[in-house]
Amino acid sequence: MTEQPAKVRQSFLVPEMAYVRKVQTEDVFMWLSKGWTDMKLLRKTSMAYAGLFLFIGLFISFGFYFMGLPYLILPSLTGFLLVGPAIAVGFYEGSRRRQNGEPFTLIHALGGFRRNTLAIMAIGIAQVFLFMIWIKMAFTVFAISFPGIMPEWGHIIERTFSMEGLHFGLMLLAEGSIFAAGIFLTGAFSLPLMVGRKTMLIPAMVTSAYAVIKNFHVMILWAAMITAIMFTALVTGLGLIFAFPLIGHATWHAYLQVMGEEGPDE
């Protein structure tokens, strides 16, 4: 059972910050269950919305291929997941609307950012900037791992299972983990806060980081579940069209339980 918050006034750095509740590991599975329910009820819009961004991801990948930059396809696909929190705004809006008994269409999903335009655009721009840095670092790692090798498919496949390929994979994994940890810390709840409470950028990021730290063990499990779902979806290809909505809707329910729409004394 989830601990009930103490009925005391909690002071915040700024008024927009939310009260953070303590949750338990079993709550992670409840979030996924509620996310699954939302996905089933909103499946047409949610899957169409997910499919749109999957198409964009494939377009970027084919773009790198035809530009003669195949070594950037894998980093672009993984980096595309780094900007996932911004994309998930449409799913948060869907769950919010279902909760309030409001209709939800693709127009509503695409327009979800309008509930807090400036803050959501700011974090979206920041994540795109991080994505660009990630791609640049992937190029650097390739150059370090395969000195003197042209970045072509034949060379990449030939060296994949070599010592250089192992170094490349490990270095890319290490860099990706650092990026993902930072984004998860500040982004786990910041965008749901922006949609639900119309919180501004910095208060939302600070509150998100505090919520992750306060529920550290639970959030480690939550991050592991997200990673497992996304990995399974990537292996199966089209599974991403189910994984994105499931995680997006489940994250909204995680936000509602950890922070809710109201503080303890409101």
Residues 6+ away with beta carbon under 8 Å from 266? none
Rounded-to-10 torsion of CA 119, 203, 220, 42: -40
Q: Which residues of the chain have pLDDT under 70?
A: 1-18, 57, 60-85, 128, 135, 142-169, 172, 237-238, 260-266
Identify the pLDDT of residue 119.
84
> Cα separation of 239 and 96, whole Å?
24
Is the pTM above the cut of 0.95? no
What does residue 98 show for φ and ψ, rounded to 5 degrees?
A: -65, -40
Identify the pLDDT of residue 10.
45
> Maximum Cα–Cα distance for the chain, whole Å?
64
208-266 residue pLDDT tens: 999 999 999 999 999 999 989 988 887 776 688 899 899 999 999 999 999 865 443 33
Rounded-to-10 torsion of CA 49, 194, 216, 38: -40
Identify the pLDDT of residue 91.
94
Are residues 19 and 259 in contact, defined by beta-carbon separation less than 8 angstroms? yes
